[in-house]
Structure 1
Amino acid sequence: MTTPIPDEMLDAILAMQVTIAWAGEGRCSPRRLGWWDTDLIDDEGGGDLFARLLPQTHAWASLEAVREAARRTDAKARAKMADPDKLRTLYFLGFELDEQLGDRFAAHKRSVRPPAEVLPLPLPLTADFSKEKLVSALQGGDVPFTTVPNGRQLKGKRPDTADGLAKRLCAALVPLAEQYPLPFYKLEG
């Protein structure tokens, strides 16, 4: 039985996911973090193509595409770990929650309202990217982790709320790395 998550909580998680997905792009100019080889949002890159192909939903389509690129990078990194299905990452929060996030994203896309109007984005997704601004937006207190091969295993109790979990996983991206650092919690059992 699926426990429904409040829309505000789903929106908060989606905002974190798309912000990290946007920040992780590497083909844009100027280059952002370079964790995935995409340029799907900026008006001078893939965002222009989406605007011409999908005039009503181009902003959402760009975010959906870059979120998928981030999800795939996350999945590849998880696949290198023992028991990848027992990990919880920013882009793999568990089947039920991931399904609810997908449904909420689709509902926003159908509404045609701009992402900045409906998602509580921690910073604007504009061309003036700054690592310092991103780090400031991600800081959620000290998030202790152990660096393991292929990832950062978070220490301590996993947060009880879905948005709390996503926030801690985002905060564990700091310090920023050359490659996606795969912060994760390991499920017990």
Structure 2
Amino acid sequence: MVKGSTRRRPSKLDPFKPYLQQRWTETEGRVAILELHREISARGFRGGYTIVFDWISRTLPNKVTGWLIRHPATLTEEAKLHRKGVLDRCPELATAAEQTSSFAEMLTTLSGTRLPEWISEAVEAGLPGISSFATGLSSDIAAVTAGLTTDWNSGPVEGAVNRIKMLKRQMFGRAGFGLLRKRVLLAR
């Protein structure tokens, strides 16, 4: 394969992926991967268990993550049902999804005045990642609240800084400020 190419080599598992996806969906993830390996082996798959395990553990959790991080209104009806099924089976994940959605709503509606309330709810939830994130926000609550309530955005400045850093990295530290200045001015 050519370096940088996005094409991937075909896998022994490719013809069986639709079947695995269907079985995973119809059992709502309650089927053992070893059982799935046995089923596709009976259908002609000649690969090992680890190929099936790696594909399922890499591909299917990404679908669940997508169901959780996207706004529920943007999901298809089928995805909404799958999301509900996953959240019903795992109360901690349901709490995490609720906290994440609540924070995302604060971001998109610029309602940072609700931040102290969200922080206390997140800490009380006791979920390690979310609780530590909330605790970190409370260390500089004034700045975070301002960021969540004002229309000001540092995106253009960050973009310019990243562009300058990229140009500097391309020079591998071999040139001085004069050449960097010329490259920045010419790269516009």
Is this a same-fold pair by TM over 0.5?
Answer: no
Higher-strand-fraction structure = 1
Query: Which entry has the higher C-alpha Rg, 1 or 2?
Result: 2
TM-score where L is the length of structure 1: 0.23
Higher helix share: 2
